[in-house]
Chain A
Amino acid sequence: MSDASTSAKGDLQLRNITKTYGDFTAVDDLTLTIPEGSFFALLGPSGCGKTTTLRMIAGLEEPTTGTIHVGSTDITDMKPYRRPVNTVFQNYALFPHLSIFENVAFGLRRRGIKDVKEQVDKVLQLVELPHLAERKPTQLSGGQQQRIAVARAIVNRPALLLLDEPLGALDLKLRRQMQIELKWIQTEVGLTFVHVTHDQEEAMTMADTIAVMNEGRIEQMGTPADLYDNPKTAFVANFLGQSNLIKGNVIATDGDSHTVDLFGQKVKVNKNRSVARDSSILFGIRPEKIRIQENSHTNSGCVLEGGTIVDVSYIGVSTQYQVEMPWGQELMVFEQNDDGIPPLAKGDSVKLSWEPVFSFGLNGHEDASAGSEVNPTEDE
């Protein structure tokens, strides 16, 4: 309501934010800068602390320690209604007793703006629902409610727009459509969006920058391509897409690549794509980067031999193979069905090869299954 705070602009800075409930730590010493005007995603499984972080930015929860700044304004102690921040809630939270028009106008009216019609009409045009202005929320479909929730928030031109898994309740097709629309709105209006989601595809589609969270901490932050191609922890490698992680030892380094011993076979990884701290390394290569061939073929690049196919899944676009290696581990290979050659069969002996530039190295002491779906995630 005080104009000074609602006009605060700038980057969002979280410094050493911690949130504890009794002896449970939901958010653990989080430090983060979100540049003004970007589309930022907080990605992670249920219970990782992403929603708690969002609510602290909105002012709906208080951090146990730490500070939150928008530009140079410290908003840590501010009540939600004083912050230049608006939220799109997971279940939309539209006021059932008010019309759509009044829902959207709510924030404007509370700030004392008398003539709201023009702004409300404009934002309803933006979400393509001007004809619903006089209806009540219960009369709208899920997708429509979601768009009104967005309209209600952005009409206030906040410094920061927070979205708490807003697409969770929509069916697949609608969700895809909304992902594109939200991204378009963000670039069109120029606000900073902070989007919380557990759907990695959604985050990668929409965000400029993603922070992957796990157990209250940020595992890694970067552009979608960054995180996908160059994961720095097992959790990120498994949570975004799928990875083959093989335990090995660095036995030599020459120039800018390490030579790694994997159960007797040798492969290479670039030094600047490895975060291993000692000779113990978790060697990573993504399934779609691997070529799978019968033993008789000759290959270039890195090669692993002695694989036996134990499962074949034909998906249409691709064929997915589970290959058992001599040391007992099953690796995944995804092959595009783009060459008309029929897929290999269960029981076939195969060789796996890939370009060394695609491999990455992780800390060998980590749990190789962290972040993969096979592991049950934490309780909420």
Chain B
Amino acid sequence: MKKFTRWFSKNLIRIYAVMGFTYLFIPILYTFVFSFNDYVRSNLVWRGFTFNNWTDPCAPLDICPALGNSIKIGLMATFGATILGTLIAFALARYAFRGRGIVNTLIFLPMATPELVLGASLLTMFLNLGFNPGFWTIVIAHIMFCISFVVVTVKARIASLDPRLEQAAMDLYANEAETFRRVTLPLVAPGIAGGALLAFSLSFDDFIITNFNSGTTITFPLYVYTHAERGLPAQANVIGVSMFLLALIVVLAGQFVGRKRKVSA
């Protein structure tokens, strides 16, 4: 018995971690299980096992167009936010200039403002100016709130870059443009990729800001929200779990590639 208590206290943290991870994954598991439910109108009660939902994910009306919108918006917002954010990150990390404090504050504020306020204020402005909310207002809003996250991610990566590598490149006859292209950019690329991934995830899963600025356009989170009361088809679970698995594979693959590069002799 004493052996057990000793083992227990030594591994307390590990046991706790296992419990923690289980807790994290409970809703995912639930969603996964119910994606196989042979539902009728709403997916609340278990009626039977079926693969139908997986083979026919677009059966419910509107769900695939909504998914399509989310993906399109996600890609455009990622593109915009990554470019704008990376430029800012380089400016902050590599140059001394006046107004640095103002820039830092303006980058920080959107992260400190609740999405509610971001979305609502943008909607107010659009309405005041006479623009009707819709697809493009969503894209604009998403770029806006993703920029800060890209800046933080890329800036951290640039900061960890040894400046002597660029000096070595110039010492070896590369001018400023060549140094940037052949040394700086390849080494910062993982940070930019990370920022882009972050932007895409934030945009894809965004509900609150989108809710305010969408007009009649439906994105996937919006679809789920509006159908939550009337009856959510299991295909929503299918899509949710698929995105989860896809993202998991992408990130784990990225880790694996990164680790391969670092194999020691």
Contacts and interface: CB of A to CB of B under 8 A. Distances in A.
Q: Do chains A and B touch in the complex (CB under 8 A)?
A: yes
Interface of A: 1, 6, 58-60, 79-82, 85-87, 89, 91, 93-97, 106-107, 110-111, 135-136, 138-141, 152-153, 156
13 contacts: A1-B173, A79-B175, A91-B162, A93-B167, A95-B165, A96-B187, A97-B186, A107-B172, A110-B172, A110-B178, A135-B265, A138-B264, A156-B172
B168 interface: yes
A249 B182 CA distance: 65
A139 B264 CA distance: 5
B171 A138 contact: no
Nearest to A60: B167
A6 B167 contact: no
Given A95-B165, A97-B186, A110-B178, A80 B264 contact: no
A80 B162 contact: no
A200 B165 CA distance: 28
Contacts of A1: 173, 175
Given A136-B261, A140-B265, A86 B162 contact: no
Contacts of B263: 139
Contacts of B168: 87, 89, 93-95
Interface residues on B, range: 20 to 34
Nearest to B261: A136
Contacts of B173: 1, 6, 81-82, 107, 110-111, 156
Contacts of A87: 167-168, 171
B170 interface: yes
A377 B167 CA distance: 28
A156 B173 CA distance: 10
Given A95-B183, A106-B169, A138-B262, A81 B164 contact: no
Interface in B56-112: none
B186 A80 contact: no
B164 A93 contact: yes
A103 to B, nearest CB: 9
Contacts of A156: 172-173
Interface in B158-202: 162, 164-165, 167-175, 178, 182-183, 186-187
Contacts of A152: 172
Contacts of A153: 172
Contacts of B165: 93, 95-96
Given A93-B162, A96-B165, A139-B263, 17 more contacts: A1-B173, A1-B175, A58-B171, A59-B171, A60-B170, A80-B170, A82-B173, A86-B171, A87-B171, A93-B167, A93-B168, A95-B168, A97-B186, A106-B182, A110-B178, A140-B265, A156-B172
